[in-house]
């Protein structure tokens, strides 16, 4: 194995791939990486609510201490809460033990940079290099790091959210909300934050449980049936569900319909851009044109990046964006912090509803409608870049093609919609996404371009 970090840190099944030994060595590698630029780095560590959290946290802490880092344990908390504490309390880095929405037998390690953002790919590769080289400098006994605990992160984080929404407007609206934390780390923040916002909160799966006894952790329609049933029963304005480490928020409208992440993203983007009277919104190339259409209509601009929330966050910083995010419910509010944040997302959604005084179904219905078709096709990993080059050459001459974008994979804009051909980072496949205002056109585009990819792969 030469690769540990995936798109979202290191993940694996506990005591199979994700062992105490790995966490210990990773602690040493992360610490050695930090020691390159600072003498005694300070590292905040925390976990989500999984059964294996303490085993991995203590091992990783031991590794960090052994190479001379000072470690502060922040306890169980959402990933964005740890990220906020790292930025605000001037830690040199953060480590969160989490496997996000994966099943309970999984766990993982994610490293946070000193500014609270997720590490960039090249930084992760450097840590990987140290890990595999086993080239870790011995630290003398009197240089071993110090350990302490701090329980102030959650209050600090909630204060920031409350300072970035119109609390009076939300409180006066006295909105009823069904909250489904999915027994994850969100339980430590979301119920009390909603109460502080004056909401009448109906709780579902709001006790932390390392086995995710209430529902599987990923906020997808099949896992949120209970929430979808409860929202109309309770007469709530919406339901909101978090994933295991509470960086993503997914909504259910007042009638109990699942609201797909591209819709809630576009709705909040429209609101934020209108409030800012324009501004830049950053998102990956795979995001629905629904976003661009509403952002443009409000006088804003969409900037596209390669797929991955750390990339989105970094570009947002660079271009001074007013908003950004991904279609999976991971929205980024730069005035608060540069990372996906579920609690900030539902707080902003409450403000939006309190201001608009319309039901969520109506607001969603006002958004432009696009149809997406997703296919995949096989291609050996070593041929992928050649195939993409050849594909962009072939399609460049076609009359229906208006523009080709190579930000991530090959995105082909045609008169009636776009097609994105993206190599999977983990499997020998290409994903072929097509989007159009018409379902039939999206289907036709997807199957025709999948065929083109197959032909290129064969030659």
Q: By the criterion CB under 5 A, which residues form the site for Mg ion?
A: 100, 243, 245, 247
| Distance in Å, CB of 244 to Mg ion, minimum | 6
Closest CA to 128 of 57, 22, 46: 22
**92 versus 243: smaller Cβ distance to Mg ion:** 243
Please check whether residue 248 is in contact with residue 346, taking contact to mean a CB–CB distance below 8 angstroms. Answer: no
Specify whether the CB–CB gap between 31 and 139 falls below 8 A: no
Which strands make up the sheet holding 10-13, listed edge to edge?
10-13, 106-112, 93-97, 42-47, 70-76, 147-149
HSE-CB of 290 using CA atoms within 13 angstroms: 25
* Residue closer to Mg ion (CB basis): 25 or 205: 205
The minimum distance between CB 338 and Mg ion, in angstroms, equals: 16
Closer Cβ to Mg ion, 99 or 302, answer by number: 99
Closest CB to Mg ion among residues 100, 337 = 100
Overall residue count recorded for the chain in this entry: 459
Query: Under DSSP, is residue 286 helix (H, G, I), strand (E, B) or coil?
Result: coil
Helices marked H in 112-215 — which ranges?
121-133, 153-163, 167-173, 190-196
Specify the residue, 243 or 341, whose C-beta has the smaller distance to Mg ion: 243
Strand-pair category, 70-76 with 42-47: parallel
Residue whose CB is less far from Mg ion, 215 or 450: 215
- What is the closest distance, in whole angstroms, from the C-beta atom of residue 114 to Mg ion in the complex? 21
Spatial distance between the Cα atoms of 76 and 154, rounded to a whole number of angstroms:
10
Q: What is each CA distance from 328 to 91, 161, 195, 288, 331, in whole angstroms?
A: 29, 21, 26, 12, 9
CB of 42 to Mg ion, least distance (A): 25
Catalytic, 160? Answer: no
Which tokens hold the place of 162?
């409350």
Strands (E), 248-311: 249-252, 258-259, 279-284, 300-305
- Check if the beta carbon of residue 95 is closer than 8 Å to that of residue 112: yes
Q: How far is the CB of 248 from Mg ion (least distance, A)?
A: 5
Q: How far is the CB of 372 from Mg ion (least distance, A)?
A: 22
Q: Among all residues, whose Cβ is closest to Mg ion?
A: 100
Q: Given 66, 100, 217, 288, which residue is catalytic?
A: 100
Active site residues: 100
């Amino acid at each position: 194995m030469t690769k540990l970090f995936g798109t979202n840190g290191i993940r694996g099944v506990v005591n199979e791939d994700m062992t105490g030994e790995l966490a210990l060595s990773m602690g040493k590698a992360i610490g050695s990486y930090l020691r390159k630029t600072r003498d005694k780095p300070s590292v905040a560590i925390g976990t989500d609510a999984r059964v294996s959290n303490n085993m991995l946290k203590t091992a990783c802490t031991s590794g960090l201490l052994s190479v001379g880092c000072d470690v502060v344990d922040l306890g169980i908390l959402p990933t964005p809460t740890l990220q906020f504490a790292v930025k605000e309390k001037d830690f040199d880095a953060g480590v969160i033990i989490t496997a996000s929405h994966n099943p309970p037998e999984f766990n993982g390690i994610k490293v946070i940079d000193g500014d609270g953002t997720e590490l960039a790919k090249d930084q992760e590769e450097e840590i990987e290099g140290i890990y595999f080289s086993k080239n870790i400098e011995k630290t003398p006994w009197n240089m071993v790091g110090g350990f302490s605990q701090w329980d102030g992160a959650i209050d600090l984080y909630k204060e920031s959210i409350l300072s970035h929404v119109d609390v009076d407007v939300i409180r006066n609206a006295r909105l009823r909300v069904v909250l489904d934390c999915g027994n994850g780390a969100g339980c430590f923040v979301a119920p009390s934050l909603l109460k502080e916002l004056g909401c009448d909160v109906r709780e579902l799966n709001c006790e932390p449980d390392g086995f995710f006894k209430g529902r599987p952790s990923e906020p997808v329609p099949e896992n949120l049936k209970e929430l979808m049933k409860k929202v109309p029963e309770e007469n709530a304005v919406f339901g909101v569900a978090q994933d295991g480490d509470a960086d993503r928020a997914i909504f259910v409208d007042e009638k109990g319909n699942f609201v797909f992440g591209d819709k809630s993203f576009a709705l909040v983007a429209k609101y934020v851009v209108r409030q800012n009277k324009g501004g830049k919104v950053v998102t990956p190339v795979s995001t629905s044109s629904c976003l661009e259409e509403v952002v443009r209509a409000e006088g804003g601009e969409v900037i596209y990046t390669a797929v991955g929330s750390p990339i989105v966050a970094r570009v947002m910083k660079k271009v001074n964006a007013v908003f950004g995010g991904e279609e999976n419910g991971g929205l980024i509010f730069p005035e608060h912090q540069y990372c996906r944040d579920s609690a900030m997302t539902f707080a902003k959604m409450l403000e939006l509803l309190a201001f608009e005084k319309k039901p969520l179904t109506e607001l969603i219905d006002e958004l432009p409608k696009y149809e997406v078709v997703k296919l995949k096709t096989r291609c050996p990993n070593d041929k992928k870049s050649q195939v993409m080059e050849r594909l962009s050459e072939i399609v460049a001459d076609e009359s229906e093609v208006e523009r080709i974008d190579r930000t991530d994979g090959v995105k082909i804009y045609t008169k009636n919609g776009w097609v994105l051909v993206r190599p999977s980072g983990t499997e020998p496949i290409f994903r072929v996404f097509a989007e159009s205002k018409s379902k039939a056109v999206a289907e036709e585009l997807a199957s025709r371009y999948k065929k083109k990819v197959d032909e290129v792969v064969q030659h």
